Amino acid sequence: MLDLPDFLPTVTPGLYIVATPIGNRGDITLRALSVLSKADVICCEDTRTSLKLLQTFAIHKPLWPYHDHNGDQMRPRILQALTENKIIALISDAGTPLISDPGYKLVRACYEASLPVTTIPGASAVLSGLVLSGMPSDRFMFCGFAQPKEFAQFKAIAATLIFFEAPQRVLECLNAMHLNFPDREVAVVREITKRFEEVIFGSYEQVIQRYTERPSIKGEFVIVLSPPHKGAATHDEIDPLLIKLMKDHSLKEASQIVAEMLGLPRKQIYQRALSIKDDL
């Protein structure tokens, strides 16, 4: 029996979209544990995967599989349970449900039937990958699992792009991205929250070389691309801005501001700022 604090809200009948850990099981939230322990039914992508997580916390509940292949058949059953005032939790294999899975159709069906829906927020590979990538986060787009044949539609998007990818396709994907997005930097984020968490950031050449040198590629991958560079800028454009800003800002702050103004990589501007500082 879970010993949970009494300040947690009462779990009432309805559909709960519950985020689960993306790697480290310690990342599950108290509210998630509360809902899962009180649910009448837990709907999940793969009952075997979810069972391992639930057993960790001594939660024993009926598991209903809900995924791409059985969604049309399972939704009426879930909706019926909700009309009977059941507590239904929806989880995915990892992270926040509805991200690259069919859960949104169930949520829409609940709204159409005037049934209660809420979310229990938590881990997200999309946001965690973005945070670790070092890419601009003021404007970003999640593009799902990488499909090179669809890359053309993302070329003109002036935002950070986030993709999922499988280990056996990472090198092929990076080479295709190099061809389609030559004016962007790349960060490959691997095994987020797990023991071998890793971020490789830089140019395509640098990142591809790192993975080419490895005897094998394993793990869960999030690939993050910077916004497109607005164009090459000369030192005559960069230097006066840096010199002016460094009078009132730190080296890091000045570099950040100039990089955003010119749409250039922060690392490039920072290196230039270091050179200017030495000459001042």
Cβ–Cβ < 8 Å for 257, 248: no
User: CA–CA separation, 63 vs 39, rounded Å?
Assistant: 10
Query: 């009132």: which residue's tokens?
Result: 248
User: Do 162 and 126 touch, CB atoms closer than 8 A?
Assistant: yes
pLDDT of residue 267: 81
Look-up: residue for tokens 């899975």?
Answer: 101
CB 124 within 8 A of CB 22: yes
What does the pLDDT profile of the chain (280 residues) look like in tens digits?
Answer: 578 999 999 999 999 999 999 999 999 999 999 999 999 999 999 999 999 999 999 999 999 999 988 999 999 999 999 999 999 999 999 999 988 676 899 999 999 999 999 999 999 999 999 999 999 999 999 999 999 999 999 988 999 999 999 999 999 999 999 999 988 999 999 999 999 999 999 889 999 999 999 999 999 999 999 998 766 566 777 888 888 888 888 888 888 888 877 767 788 788 888 888 776 6
The whole-angstrom separation of Cα 38 and Cα 10 is 10
pLDDT for residue 276: 83
Predicted pLDDT at 228 = 87
Dihedral sign, Cα of residue 98, residue 100, residue 103, residue 109: positive
pTM of the model: 0.79
The one-character DSSP state at 232 is -
Q: Give the phi and the psi of residue 226 in degrees, each rounded to 5.
A: -65, 165
**Tell me, what's the pLDDT at 222?**
98
Give the number of other Cβ atoms within 10 Å of residue 1's Cβ.
Answer: 5
Instruction: Give the whole-angstrom CA distance, residue 111 versus residue 240.
Output: 56
Strands (E), 178-232: 186-190, 198-202, 221-225
The pLDDT value given to residue 230: 65
Q: How far apart are CA 90 and CA 96, in angstroms?
A: 10
Retrieve residue 24's tokens: 């480290």
Q: What integer pLDDT is reported at residue 280 of this predicted model?
A: 64
Cα distance between residue 159 and residue 184, in whole Å = 10
269 close to 258: Cβ distance less than 8 angstroms = yes
- Terminal Cα-to-Cα distance of the chain (whole angstroms): 66
Of 227, 125, 216, nearest to 171 (Cα)? 216
Phi, psi of 212 (to 5 degrees): -65, -30
- Do the strands 186-190 and 221-225 form a parallel or antiparallel pair, or are they unpaired? antiparallel
Strand 186-190's sheet: what is its strand order? 140-145, 160-165, 221-225, 186-190, 198-202
